[in-house]
């Protein structure tokens, strides 16, 4: 993670004095302390996103599709049973698809769900 991307940036007169995996956030990020005693914590997600980690970006995309599916389901007026019927799946699988914390679902399954809700899903690729 480059210093230029840190919210609290070190400068020549106030350098990084200490860096450690932060137990307060379950070692899921690091805290750095500048010479003047100011500190900031960077979650591991920020590092993964900055470095464009493929697994992290995939999970982020699945999460965004899930949020959209939940919003579209609420707006559609369709019953859960009707969507389950359209998908040809079980109720438990349907509820797993709606769970934003479930990262084991596939992008394909989310596209199928959104299509069953009457949505069109497009993929856009941006350079760099």
Q: 99 to each of 11, 16, 88, 94, 120, how far by Cα in Å?
A: 43, 40, 18, 9, 21
Stated pTM of the model: 0.74
**Distance between CA atoms of residues 107 and 122, nearest Å:** 12
Q: What is the pLDDT of residue 103?
A: 87
Q: At what angle do helices 54-76 and 91-98 cross, to 10 degrees?
A: 110
Element (H, E) at 110: helix 107-116
Band the pLDDT of 1: cuts 50, 70, 90: confident
**Distance between CA atoms of residues 94 and 79, nearest Å:** 12
Q: Per mean pLDDT, which of 5-9, 33-37, 101-105 is the most reliable?
A: 33-37
| Chain region(s) in the chain for CATH 1.10.260 | 54-116
Level-2 CATH architecture, domain 54-116: Orthogonal Bundle (1.10)
């Amino acid at each position: 993670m480059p210093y230029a991307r840190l919210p609290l940036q070190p400068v020549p007169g106030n350098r990084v004095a200490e860096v450690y995996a932060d137990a307060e956030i379950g070692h899921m990020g690091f805290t750095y302390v500048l010479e003047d005693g100011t500190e900031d914590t960077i979650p591991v997600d920020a590092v993964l996103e900055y470095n464009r980690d493929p697994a992290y970006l995939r999970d982020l995309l699945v999460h965004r599709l899930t949020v959209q599916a939940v919003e579209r389901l609420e707006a559609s007026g369709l019953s859960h049973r009707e969507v389950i019927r359209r998908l040809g799946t079980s109720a438990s699988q349907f509820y797993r698809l709606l769970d934003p914390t479930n990262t084991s679902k596939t992008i394909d399954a989310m596209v199928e769900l959104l299509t069953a809700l009457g949505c069109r899903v497009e993929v856009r690729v941006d350079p760099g």
